[in-house]
């Protein structure tokens, strides 16, 4: 259990694409940055999870390092938090196996992300790793005795499963794991696709034009925002039901400027959609320019990045190996003499 003075935070992100998108940032990473200041925070690039998506090795390698660079450029400070790559700490797989042996087949089959993805791909093209994916995620969280898990809305069910597995283990084998809470902020928890504002912005979206990628050029991102789908009517009003497109852009504008939704709405009183989209584009581009530059600069020194990751892995390993050994002990497994 976490008996430290500070609360533990853990979260992870997949390195499946060249760039994170604005949903990843506003739904999760922005909170990671805030939480590193007053918590004992662990953040990992979950490369093992990303193996569920087929990728060429050279792309995978580049994307993993680019993910680390983007996280630092967005504000993670490796001196304040523990930043590491999941596969550098083998205890993640080891605890996942234990939890797999506690998870019902029906329980895992009910995970909506698995259902959606496997339905789209068909059973012959769905890998078993996609099925056990949420259990590996539960291991990521329970290993660090995390109290809080900052994620977007789409991860709520996975956090529920993690809590269920932790509680099940504790009640069968004795108090071993801290039971975590999801840390899901209302604002930004679900950023939607610019072309289909009723669907979440997603790395696997059918069309790239609705997804704002953090590493894209200002020209591309400006164009995407200016051609975002808006709604009927002319007023810039936050109304998720009747005006999902405008509301999504207002959410983005408000999160990046730090203004409330009401203040953001006021900025556009009497103005049309054209002016509004132009202003949102400017805010997004101004926010992302230094991030992209910093990430590219960090990527020029791979040795430095790998050194930071090695320090992170060492700190993570110290916590993870203790939990794993407590788990094995609770199960009655014989430790090596
Ligand atoms: P991933 O890599 O798909 O997404 C990373 C984070 O971004 C959030 N997110 C969004 N938030 C708001 N609006 C959106 N449109 C949007 N799209 C994505 C996700 O909720 C997530 O927080 N399973 C996790 C990775 C993971 C993990 C963990 C998370 C593995 N182990 C342990 C927490 C703890 C995932 O798919 O993230």
Residuewise pLDDT in 10s, the chain (337 residues) = 777 789 999 999 999 999 999 999 999 999 999 999 999 999 999 999 999 999 999 999 999 999 999 999 999 999 999 999 999 999 999 999 999 999 999 999 999 999 999 998 888 889 999 999 999 999 999 999 999 999 999 999 999 999 999 999 999 999 999 999 999 998 888 999 999 999 999 988 878 999 999 999 999 999 999 999 998 889 999 999 999 999 999 999 999 999 999 999 999 999 999 999 999 999 999 999 999 999 999 999 999 999 999 999 999 999 999 999 999 999 999 998 8
23 CA → ligand 1 middle, Å: 9
Cα distances (Å, whole numbers) of residue 135 to 47, 63, 247: 15, 24, 34
Please give the pLDDT value at position 1. Answer: 77
Residue 102 three-state SS: coil
pLDDT score recorded for residue 196: 95
Alpha-carbon distance of 248 to 225, in angstroms, equals: 11
- The runs of H, that is alpha helices, within the chain are 22-24, 30-35, 47-50, 57-73, 91-100, 105-109, 112-121, 128-143, 156-173, 218-226, 244-257, 261-267, 273-299, 302-331
Q: Please answer whether residues 265 and 316 qualify as being in contact, where contact means their C-beta atoms are separated by less than 8 angstroms.
A: no
Q: Quick one: pLDDT at residue 86?
A: 98
Centre of ligand 1 to C-alpha 245, Å, is: 22
User: Would the pTM count as exceeding 0.95?
Assistant: yes
293 vs 288: CA distance, rounded Å: 9
Instruction: Provide residues with CB under 6 Å of ligand 1.
Output: 10-14, 23-24, 27-28, 46, 49, 137, 140-141, 149, 151-152, 154-155, 158, 189-191, 200-202
Residue 328 alpha carbon to ligand 1 centre in Å? 29
Q: Is 200 a catalytic residue?
A: yes
Ligand 1 centroid vs 266 CA: distance in angstroms?
A: 32
* Catalytic residue flag (residue 117): yes
CA 259 – ligand 1 centroid, Å: 25
Atom of ligand 1 nearest to the CA of 16: 2
Residue 227 Cα to ligand 1 midpoint, Å, equals 26
Which of the residues 117, 271, 294, 329 is marked catalytic? 117
Q: How far apart are CA 181 and CA 296, in angstroms?
A: 34
Contacts of 212 (CB under 8 A, 6+ apart): 21, 22, 194, 201, 221, 224, 225, 284
At residue 211, the pLDDT reads 97
Which residue's CA is the closest to the ligand 1 atom numbered 26? 12
Which ligand 1 atom is nearest residue 191's CA? 13
Ligand 1: which residue has its CA nearest to atom 27?
Answer: 12
Instruction: Return the SS3 of 44.
Output: strand
Predicted pLDDT of residue 326: 98
Question: Could you say which of 30, 56, 172, 200 is catalytic?
Answer: 200
Catalytic choice (203, 259, 271, 315):
203
In ligand 1, which atom is closest to the CA atom of 150? 22
């Amino acid at each position: 259990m976490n008996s430290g003075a500070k609360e533990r935070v853990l979260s992870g992100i997949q390195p499946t694409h060249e760039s994170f998108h604005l949903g990843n940032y506003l739904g999760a990473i922005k909170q990671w940055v805030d939480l590193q200041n007053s918590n004992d925070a662990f953040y990992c690039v979950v490369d093992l999870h990303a193996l569920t998506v087929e990728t060429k090795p050279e792309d995978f390698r580049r994307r993993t390092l680019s993910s680390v660079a983007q996280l630092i450029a967005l504000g993670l400070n490796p001196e304040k938090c523990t930043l590491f790559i999941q596969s550098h700490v083998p205890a993640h797989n080891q605890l996942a196996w234990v939890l797999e042996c506690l998870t019902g087949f029906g329980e895992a089959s009910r995970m909506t992300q698995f259902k959606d993805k496997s339905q789209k791909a068909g059973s012959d093209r769905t890998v078993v790793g996609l099925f056990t994916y949420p259990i590996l995620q539960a291991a990521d969280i329970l290993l660090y005795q995390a109290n809080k898990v900052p994620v977007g809305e789409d991860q709520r069910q996975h956090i529920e499963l993690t809590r269920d597995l932790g509680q099940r283990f504790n009640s069968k084998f004795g108090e071993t794991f801290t039971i975590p809470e999801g840390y899901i902020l209302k604002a930004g928890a679900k950023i939607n696709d610019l072309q289909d504002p009723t669907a979440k912005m997603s790395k696997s979206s059918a069309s790239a034009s609705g997804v704002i990628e953090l590493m894209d050029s200002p020209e591309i991102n400006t164009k995407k925002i200016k051609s975002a789908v808006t709604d009927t009517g002319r007023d810039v009003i936050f109304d998720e039901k009747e005006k999902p497109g405008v509301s999504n852009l207002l959410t983005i504008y408000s999160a990046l400027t730090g203004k409330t939704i009401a203040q953001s709405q006021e900025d556009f009183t009497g103005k049309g959609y054209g002016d509004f989209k132009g202003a949102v584009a400017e805010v997004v581009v101004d926010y992302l320019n230094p991030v992209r530059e910093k990430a590219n600069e960090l990527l020029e020194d791979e040795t430095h990045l790998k050194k930071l990751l090695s320090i992170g892995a060492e700190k993570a390993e110290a916590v993870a190996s203790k939990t794993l050994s407590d788990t094995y002990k609770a199960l009655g497994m014989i430790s090596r003499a």
